[in-house]
A and B are shown apart, each in its own frame.
Chain A
């Protein structure tokens, strides 16, 4: 299997995630889309790593997973906090920090 398929799949996943972030208003979905984008990046890293033939790319992928986990913790924490305070779960309504 050539590298192109992996890259195309990764690009598709990334575009899906990005579109999700741009179009959806629920913080939960945005968080999921973010994960999608990160994992698209992971896929590309692992694919290139296999192509080059050493483990460096895979190390990066592992680190990205760790960071993604942290990010999910923070993100979910925020969402729970928003929910607890009975604020609308809609990112367009939460715009108090506008300039």
Chain B
């Protein structure tokens, strides 16, 4: 079996799953639907593994395969095929996406069980996985855009999954609109690429680009900047990030899969995929790198003060994607992709654990009310700590190796790129503090009421269903969360999924220990063949120095969090009052929402209102009612003539003929 055969199968299974569940929702029992969804993704993962094995059979230089099913459009010099491109990068993404998705499907199988929209959930989720796989396997920019837009839609549908909750539907719309801004950037970039290079095909584009463009030529810079608009919107980078925290309105498995592990890394994948173009436009690459840096710092400060558990983790996602964007933009391609993989593990895990805790809190997400879950939920707490350790880059965990690899590369590249290392470490300190802030505040301390109920009776707390954001009362029918809350302690599928991910979060880093082994780098290297930036490599010694600094910083951050939230719990309050303006700034998310509202939304609304009041009212309405009045008037005249008297018709006829005869007589003489 060839590589592309397996790759097509990877696409086929999730699509089939989505269609079967979507059409069979009346017939299929809920559990069967969930099982079909999970198995479909599991099969996709298995085919991904088969494709990987088949790919490893090739020589490293020959590890890229293009295959197409049929011509999508072939007209006027345009040649678009429904084709895929399989190389180590896309297979790597396929494995990460389908692997994590399988586990999250398994988790959802337990977590969503009481929800009335169970079939819909799995159909959407399978559709999402299909779109994401299409995005990473696409063989040309057109199919990439198709996958890109599908993913955006799947995200919208799943954020608004509880569609009777107004906050959720609003968040869905916000995410969709901002994603469409990104889509426009991507589409324009594709147009420009076609104009300059005459093809949408990856192979042709990347081959021809170095011949056609000189470094930093305006057109290639424009292409890269437009690609970045797409990447930033999808990957929630400044200033297009405001949708991501709001997207936490969706069910927790969705936050875990789409808004942490897979979809939001599409921007990272895009930059890595088009690295040939970005190397021709170093200015655009630097823009991307600095944006990534700014995002990782800004998001980390916001994560420090958020009191909503899921939103705090969402900001940490933004921050970690900032690292990845920074990495792939400065040339640390393999390191960036490696961080993408480890992040997918530990962030999915953190969200799953958070979902379990939120279920135990009867859907309350406020960490001010949570405490003492360490005793109440052993399994969840252990996995939560595993995720937090990896996020904080605790020595030996997966995040430790992947994050420091990016920073070590930046140091090795030298020059101004040392800034990225220094500030990256500053961000790492913040990361360690905020991740263990969550751990200590949620797991440590006297058990809160819900935790005590769980310890004493073994039952999950139930309260009257209400919207956690606004407190509005709800019911538990379709369109709202279901009545039963599922925690990992009571659900085997959830435990399996979280256990596997916890293992990955801690040990996945071991595949890439400097000086010992470098599985990911070696596998991905053929993709960046010929790139001068990928050839830069920090020495093993520098790597270990970086790891040493990173380890110290992580421990320092955890220590700071321990002092602040365990040893001297009154300190945070004091700091908050002391640094009031800073706290206000962070807690209000740096006023990005307000700024966008003021700079974009209001002007757009004003233009719309002006168009409504002036243009619509006078020009359009004037045209329409003018036409209408004219027709009505002419009709009145004609009606008056049609009076029903035969004799008056005859008179008109005779008079008309007489008039004509007179006219011809006069004009002929």
Contact = CB atoms under 8 A, between A and B. Distances in A.
Ranked nearest first, the 4 interchain pairs of A and B with the lowest CB-CB distance are: A95-B644, A98-B644, A99-B642, A99-B639
Contacts of B654: 18, 21-22
Given A18-B654, A22-B651, A22-B654, A99 B646 contact: no
Contact of A99 (B643, B647, B650): B643
Nearest to A99: B642
B640 A99 contact: yes
B664 interface: no
Say what secondary structure dominates the interface of chain B: helix
Interface in B600-644: 638-644
B663 interface: no
Interface of A: 18, 21-23, 25, 30, 91-92, 94-99
Say what secondary structure dominates the interface of chain A: loop
B644 to A, nearest CB: 3
B642 A98 contact: yes
B646 A91 contact: yes
Interface string B647-659: 1001100100000
Contacts, number: 37
Contact of A97 (B638, B641, B644, B651): B644
B650 A22 contact: yes
Contacts of B641: 99
Contacts of A98: 642-645
Nearest to A19: B654
30 contacts: A18-B650, A18-B654, A21-B647, A21-B654, A22-B647, A22-B650, A22-B651, A22-B654, A23-B647, A30-B646, A91-B645, A91-B646, A91-B647, A92-B645, A92-B646, A92-B647, A94-B646, A95-B643, A95-B644, A95-B646, A98-B642, A98-B643, A98-B644, A98-B645, A99-B638, A99-B639, A99-B640, A99-B641, A99-B643, A99-B644
B652 to A, nearest CB: 11
A22 B658 CA distance: 14
Interface range, B side:
10 to 19
A92 B639 CA distance: 17
A97 B640 CA distance: 12
Contacts of B643: 95, 98-99
Given A98-B642, A98-B643, A98-B644, 5 more contacts: A18-B654, A21-B647, A22-B654, A30-B646, A97-B642
Interface of B: 638-647, 650-651, 654
A98 B641 CA distance: 9
Contacts of A94: 646
Contacts of A92: 645-647
A95 B651 contact: no
Nearest to A25: B647
A47 B581 CA distance: 113
B653 to A, nearest CB: 9
Contacts of A99: 638-644
A99 to B, nearest CB: 3
Contacts of B640: 99
Contacts of B650: 18, 21-22
A83 B511 CA distance: 106
B644 A96 contact: yes
A12 B226 CA distance: 88
A4 B642 CA distance: 39
Nearest to A37: B654
Nearest to B643: A98
Contacts of B645: 91-92, 95, 98
B617 to A, nearest CB: 34
Contacts of A97: 642, 644
A69 B134 CA distance: 79
B648 to A, nearest CB: 9
B556 to A, nearest CB: 93
Contacts of B651: 22
A99 B645 CA distance: 11
A91 B647 CA distance: 8
Contacts of B647: 21-23, 25, 91-92
B661 to A, nearest CB: 11
A96 B643 CA distance: 9
Nearest to A21: B650
A30 B644 CA distance: 16
Contacts of A23: 647
Contacts of A95: 643-646
A99 B643 CA distance: 6
Nearest to B635: A99
A30 to B, nearest CB: 7
A92 B649 CA distance: 12
A30 B641 CA distance: 21
A94 B645 CA distance: 8
A23 B641 CA distance: 19
Contacts of B646: 30, 91-92, 94-95
Nearest to B640: A99
Contacts of A25: 647
A21 B653 CA distance: 11
Nearest to A27: B646
A21 B648 CA distance: 10
Contacts of B642: 97-99
Contacts of A91: 645-647
B640 to A, nearest CB: 7
- Chain A CB within 10 Å — which of B642, B643, B654 has the most? B654
Nearest to B657: A18
Nearest to A15: B654
A97 to B, nearest CB: 6
B638 to A, nearest CB: 7
